[in-house]
A = this chain, B = another copy of it.
Amino acid sequence: MARKKQYDEVEVIDKAMRLFWRNGYENTSVRMLEKAMGINQFSIYASFKNKQGVFLESVKHYKTQIKSITDKLEQSNNGVTGIQEYFHDFLEFSKEASVFKGCLVTNTVNEIKEDADPIIMQELKKFSLHIKSLFVRNLKQDDLGSVEDVNKLADYLMNCILGLSISSKVFDKTQLSSMIEITFKRL
């Protein structure tokens, strides 16, 4: 009994994610979400409770989207080379109409203050730990020293790809490529 939803929740969240990705959390208003998602405020709040709910669902969706390249990394069994490819894959992934948007998670970590929204912050930290674990996994495939050394290398690579998330907004493609090259050159 009763009426059916006239929209697909996954479809509208995809639109929301792209908007958050471009504009950040605070700079995306519910009015903007309305237009981008193609449904009105009542439906947004009915489906996702509040703005934070829309964002958390967007992050979940982001994870499923980025899974295409993290899976490739995980299945590469390719050591450092696989990670280097992941860097390039990430740049391609974060591009929309020749504009680099960075990483949705990184962007938000940089925007939100820890104590202001601990729920979001916790979700974001969990994600970055996951990426680091993938780096550790691939680093172990090559012979790069002790467990501690590998852990440090993973941190180093995390720093580099976090940097790339910002750099991609400022530097051009040639510069980004040589940055990646040098990052892995003497590893």
Cα–Cα distance between A161 and B109 once the two chains are bound (Å): 17
Q: Are A170 and B111 in contact (CB under 8 A)?
A: no
Q: A159-B160, A160-B159, A183-B156 are in contact. Are A23 and B167 (CB under 8 A)?
A: no
Q: Which residues of B contact A107 (CB under 8 A)?
A: 110
Cα–Cα distance between A166 and B108 once the two chains are bound (Å): 11
The 8 Å CB contact of A162, one of B113, B152, B167, is: B167
Q: Are B159 and A27 in contact (CB under 8 A)?
A: no
Q: Are B113 and A170 in contact (CB under 8 A)?
A: no
The 8 Å CB contact of A152, one of B113, B116, B160, B178, is: B178
Q: Are B113 and A166 in contact (CB under 8 A)?
A: no
Q: Which residues of B contact A79 (CB under 8 A)?
A: none
The 8 Å CB contact of A170, one of B125, B175, B185, is: B125
- Min C-beta distance of A100 to chain B, whole Å: 11
Q: Which residues of B contact A162 (CB under 8 A)?
A: 162-163, 166-167
Taking CB atoms and an 8 Å cut-off, the chain A residues in 125-140 that contact chain B are 125, 128
Complex interface bits, A112-126 against B, C-beta within 8 A gives 1, otherwise 0: 010010000000010
Cα–Cα distance between A85 and B77 once the two chains are bound (Å): 37
Known: A152-B175, A156-B183. 19 other contacts (CB 8 A): A22-B113, A26-B26, A26-B27, A102-B110, A106-B166, A107-B110, A109-B169, A110-B110, A152-B182, A153-B182, A156-B178, A159-B160, A159-B183, A162-B162, A163-B166, A165-B166, A166-B166, A185-B186, A186-B187
Q: Which A positions have Cβ atoms within 8 angstroms of B?
A: 22-24, 26-27, 102, 106-107, 109-111, 113, 116, 125, 128, 152-153, 155-156, 158-167, 169-171, 175, 178-179, 181-183, 185-187
